[in-house]
Amino acid sequence: MKKKTVAGLLTLCMAAGMMIVPQTAVMAEEESGGKLVGVAMPTKDLQRWNQDGDNMKKSLEDAGYEVDLQYASNDVATQVSQVENMISNGCDILVIASIDGSSLGEPLSQAKEAGIPVIAYDRLLMESDAVSYYATFDNYMVGQKQGEYIVEALNLEEEEGPFNLEIVAGAPDDNNANFFYGGAMDVLQPYIDEGKLVVKSGQTEFEECATQAWDSAKAQDRMDTIIAGNYSDGTNLDAVLCSNDSTALGVANSLAASYTGEYPVITGQDCDLANVKNLIAGKQAMDIFKDTRTLADQVVTMVEAVLSGEEAEVNDTESYDNGTGVIPTYLCEPVVVTADNYQEYLIDSGYYTEDQLQ
């Protein structure tokens, strides 16, 4: 009797209506045991969270896990309910990107009582001892890179100035926003103290510069007021430190509507499509690229370790105290993207296609 070829067996099975499951998928399923991972994301309103959720779900499913992915429309009560439902539905582990890092105390207590490990994703979960690990990008470094770009773009080491700077920080209830602001201000504050950088609005404290919910319209409204009060006479605004892309978009919209001076240096973060288009068009000087595929892969590695009863790999055990102690953290490194190198980081890497940027 002749041996049946693999192709022949596939043909016979397909003819019989049998489903062929690739061996790699079977192995992944066996290794993961089909365990259920609950993934809680804050909102679909910002492009980056859609990408984070999609990348996370794909990576986890490729590893053989079942995934319950939920978005909370930036509503804290909704996210609380979603996490509680994940717990009652028997999730084996939770991955949570919070809306407000201090708002999930009750469901986190439920998770701890049920013996469900929790990984904080990109935003640190505060005031809870239920958090096992934290995975994020180096948020302080994000701010540093934004500040350093402004220093270099204005040539502050050589030029006497003064140059005019305004600051648009992130959401006051997002712990990351403090790191972004702190990293940037640690770079820029010496130049402010020296008088080379002047903040004409006088708004330099985080609370004064914060943007609720990272909302573009709120950033635009505040910049409209700043321009009207300080730059309506044609005075140049030389740089705007924007902590992320949604705030940078609001600032760019405000400038287009009411500013008549030379176009300023604008920073950003996340490489959202609209902002990359602004980058190419010269309406935003730089962006910070945080490849969410890298972060998703790292979280999958953490999930696999925790569910196997092992310790997950971390590279920071000092920086991120959530109020109950330092949370073991894995930091991915962000990179600076400009009009000169976006092709390499965003197109050649497969993050975007050329068509998306048209």
For the chain, what are the domain ranges?
A: 23-137+291-332, 139-290
Residue 264: asked if its preceding bond is cis (omega within 30°), the reply is: no
Q: Which of 233, 145, 152 is nearest to 191 (CA)?
A: 152
Would you state the pLDDT for residue 34? 82
Would you state the pLDDT for residue 292? 87
Residues 6-40 pLDDT 10s? 344 333 333 444 434 444 344 444 555 689 999 99
CATH superfamily of 139-290: Response regulator (3.40.50.2300)
Residues 70-129 pLDDT 10s? 999 999 999 999 999 999 999 999 999 999 999 999 999 999 999 999 999 999 999 999
Would you state the pLDDT for residue 180? 97
Query: Residue ranges of the alpha helices (H) in the chain?
Result: 6-15, 23-32, 47-62, 76-88, 105-113, 139-153, 175-194, 206-209, 216-230, 245-258, 273-281, 292-307, 342
Dist. CA 277–CA 286, nearest whole Å: 11
Query: Could you tell me the end-to-end alpha-carbon distance of the chain, in angstroms, rounded to an integer?
Result: 60
Query: Residue ranges of the alpha helices (H) in 65-138?
Result: 76-88, 105-113
Residues 113-133 pLDDT 10s? 999 999 999 999 999 999 999
Topology, domain 23-137+291-332:
Rossmann fold (3.40.50)
Residues of the chain predicted below pLDDT 50: 1-29
Would you state the pLDDT for residue 32? 54
Would you state the pLDDT for residue 29? 46
- pTM over cut 0.75: yes
Answer whether 23-137+291-332 and 139-290 agree in fold: yes
Would you state the pLDDT for residue 46? 85
Would you state the pLDDT for residue 355? 95
Residues in a beta bridge with 120: 96, 134
